[in-house]
Copies of this chain bind each other. A is one copy, B any other.
């Protein structure tokens, strides 16, 4: 079928565009990324780019939506018998690993203007809420397991997970070049979950 083949090509190009956006977002952030950058990187004209995504915001939303969808899939792939606290550790480590590979955006935290427009993006918000629900469920379970301290409320915990996943610390550590990727991940996961203090 010719139509199906065409659609396949179309989809493939969209994937390529989103790949480029991912890379550029993590490199320059939303505000400094230009549509020319994206078009150049994909190797198409800016006009063609606008046939796929009608605005810069839509483009970023598509990239972030793909990331969140991947997060859900990763959560689903974790064996059911894993404890809630280990699932939280796993997903944090996974996010950081993705970051270190260079493909992942700095997330909405970067740009306040992007944040606002994402709130109005239905398909982004749908996935974001699903991810959020999963996180809160895991935290609730971990709390029931007695794994969490009472001193840190659920909200602080969940938000911290998000923010550590796009923490500039990673960039600084990478630039320093003293630790390799897995060492960075281990240290960040330990610092987030267990803190800095020596266990008594």
With A112-B29, A188-B156 known to touch, is A199 a contact of B198 (CB < 8 Å)? no
* B157 and A168 contacting across the interface, CB-CB below 8 Å: no
In the complex, are the beta carbons of B199 and A156 less than 8 A apart? Answer: no
**Which one, B27, B147, B150, B173, contacts A156 given CB within 8 A?**
B173
A117 at the interface (CB under 8 A from B): no
18 pairs, CB–CB < 8 Å, chain A vs chain B: A29-B31, A29-B112, A31-B32, A32-B112, A32-B113, A147-B197, A149-B190, A149-B198, A152-B196, A155-B172, A156-B188, A156-B191, A157-B196, A160-B169, A163-B168, A191-B195, A192-B196, A194-B196
Q: In the docked arrangement, what's the CA distance between A29 and B31, Å?
A: 10
A198 CB contact (under 8 Å) in B28, B146, B179: B146
Within 8 A of B (CB), among A133-187: 146-153, 155-157, 159-160, 162-163, 167-169, 172-173, 176, 178-179, 184, 186-187
A193 at interface, CB cutoff 8 A: yes
- Say if the beta carbon of A48 comes within 8 Å of chain B: no
